[in-house]
Chains A and B, each alone.
Chain A
Amino acid sequence: MRQRSSTSASAGLIEASRAAFDRAHHVPQSVFTQELWSAARRAGLLPLVASAFSARFQPLPDDVQRDVTGNAMRNVRAISELQTIQKLFANAGLRWLVLKGPVLSHVVSRVPGARVYGDIDVLVHPEDLEQCLDLLLESRASPLDRNWAHIRQTQQSEISVELERGTLLDLHWHPITDPRIRAEIGIDLVGLFRRSQQVAFSGIHAPTLDPLDTVCYTSLHAVLAGAHQLRWLIDVRECLIWADAPPEALRQRAGELGCLLAVEVIIGRIAARLDPGARAYLPRRRRSVWAAFTGLIDRFATLDPGPDAYSGRAIFSSTRASTGKSLIVCVSALRRARRAGPGRRRVTSHVSVLRREDGTELDRSAWLDLARGHLQVAPGRTRRRTTRQGGQG
């Protein structure tokens, strides 16, 4: 009964999401049950579902209106912090790009502001990382990750700081934080910065990835996170529409970035669950074995962010640059999950470790050197160096 109820809410979410983007799409008011609103909150889709509702059956229920406004307040707070960052980094001539939330919500989505976020993700050029970090800390931001020994040891590519108004900023020097995956995918950072573009929203002009890189990065992020949340499928679908690029161009760029398989996997899931039109971006012939395999898994894997749902997340997140490597990672992940047993969840968060102050200036310097060194020897690629001219300026 619970499974059926969950399936019904999931189908309702997909219907309501379609209606949010397409005013002509018929959706009866009976779809908007209390269960649907709860599912929308859990899935991070409340503002989107609310926009579908309010365009047809105003007014919104009071509790929904309150939460939608609360979401907009979090967004506007993040935007105000982004304004500060923009001025700070631009005045210092630093190379940076805003990623994910603000761009997806206010630039990419056809329903601006309806995507839930609250944190800011920024990619900084590895050579400018130290200066970015110092500037932030001088401007009343507080360091959250202070365990330099752990940060150095894990070789993660991001660090969190809390901005003046309380927004969390994840400062990345590489889009992939796990060093093993970073080595396997081999993204060309210099190319990302060279192709970057300015976008304008809510009075801000900020640099971000170019449209094809945005599709690839959003796809990669969704797949590595498990591809089990409807909002990530919506993100990638909106990116595809925004980029409006020929499928061949997307495949070429995804191939250059080492994430062709991830793009194929997520688009396969979008085509099966959300928008059959996305099939235009899939190869007509010779679909990869891994993408075909995840296509089969898709039928059984729920789109549910809950920890108890069978979402196939361990399988989707095993996607790497090739079918062979993905299978190896997948077998290993499933073995680990089996050993852990159904009642014991893996610890996936190192937040408490990161927040504990530890390590020395030497650890911090070694981490900054790791970031800078990544540019000199890009994984699996020819030796390349970066120049100031290569940045977005």
Chain B
Amino acid sequence: MNTSYQVAHDQAAWSESGEGLVVLDLRDSNYLSLNGTAAALWRRLADGPASATELESVLLADYDVQADRARDDVANFLGHLVERGLVAQHAAL
């Protein structure tokens, strides 16, 4: 079983800000600033569901980063945003 992730469209609005993104949590009106790598992951999830492995490949393709570091970055990103409810996780076969 694999887990897929997706932007919680009903909970967030976002706008480009240079290389990064600014995300507005619609429930509490708090703003979140995402840097370039986090923004790349967010954009991927905004396009549709993706697994952690697919997100790692986004970083490996676009950034000069080792696989271990990409895995850690994706895990941190997902941990933070899933906890805040801005990214939804679904169990997928």
> Is chain B's binding surface mostly helix, strand, loop or mixed?
strand
Q: Looking at the assembled complex, report how far the CB atom of A11 sits from the nearest CB atom of chain B, in whole angstroms.
A: 24
Of B14, B17, B24, B46, the residue contacting A68 (CB under 8 A) is: B17
Q: Across the interface, do B13 and A80 meet the contact criterion of CB distance under 8 Å?
A: yes
Q: Which residues of A contact B46 (CB under 8 A)?
A: 202-203
Whether, in the assembled complex, A106 has its beta carbon less than 8 Å from a beta carbon of chain B, the answer is yes
Is A76 at the interface (CB under 8 A from chain B)?
Answer: yes
Residue of B14, B18, B21 with highest tally of chain A CB at under 10 A: B18
Interface string of B11-28 (1 = CB under 8 A from A): 011111111011110100
Q: Could you say which of B7, B14, B22 contacts A69, with CB atoms under 8 Å apart?
A: B22
Contact among A47, A69, A79, A202 for B33, CB-based, below 8 A: A69
Specify which chain A residues have a CB less than 8 angstroms from the CB of B19 in the assembled complex.
54
Q: Could you tell me if A106 and B13 are in contact, using CB atoms closer than 8 angstroms?
A: no
A165 is an interface residue with CB less than 8 A from chain B:
yes
Cα(A80)–Cα(B26), bound, Å = 7
Residues of A contacting B: mostly: helix
In the bound assembly, the distance between CA atoms of A202 and B17 in angstroms comes to 12
A106 pairs with B16, CB closer than 8 A: yes
Closest chain B CB from A80 CB (angstroms):
4
How far, in angstroms, from A73 to B14 measured CA to CA in the complex? 9
Set A47, A51, A73: member contacting B31, Cβ < 8 A: A73
Cβ-based interface call for A370 (8 A): no
How many residues of chain A have a CB within 8 Å of chain B?
23
For B12, list chain A residues within 8 Å (CB). 203
Most chain A beta-carbon contacts within 10 A, residue among B14, B21, B23: B14
* Given known contacts A69-B33, A76-B31, A77-B24, A202 and B18 CB-to-CB distance under 8 angstroms: no
A77 neighbours in B (Cβ, 8 Å): 13, 24
Q: How far is the CA of A80 from the CA of B24 in the complex (A)?
A: 8
Q: What is the 8 Å Cβ interface bit string for chain B, positions 35-74, against chain A (1 contact, 0 not)? A: 0000000000010000000000000000000000000000
CB-contact partner of A76 in B9, B13, B18, under 8 A: B13
- Give complex CA distance A213, B7 in Å: 33
- Distance (Å) between the CB of B7 and the closest chain A CB? 7
State whether the Cβ of B2 lies closer than 8 Å to any Cβ in chain A.
Answer: no
Say whether B24 contacts A54, CB under 8 Å.
no
Q: Is the CB of B7 within 8 A of A76?
A: no
Question: Are the C-beta atoms of A51 and B9 separated by less than 8 Å?
Answer: no
Contact B16 A112 (CB under 8 A): yes
Q: Which residues of A50-102 have CB atoms within 8 Å of chain B's CB atoms?
A: 50-51, 54, 60, 68-69, 71-73, 75-77, 79-80, 83
11 inter-chain pairs at a CB distance below 8 angstroms, sorted by A residue, are A50-B18, A69-B17, A72-B21, A73-B24, A75-B15, A76-B15, A76-B24, A80-B24, A112-B16, A113-B15, A203-B46
Extra contacts besides A79-B15, A203-B14 (11): CB < 8 Å: A47-B17, A47-B18, A54-B18, A68-B17, A72-B17, A72-B22, A76-B31, A79-B13, A202-B14, A202-B15, A203-B9
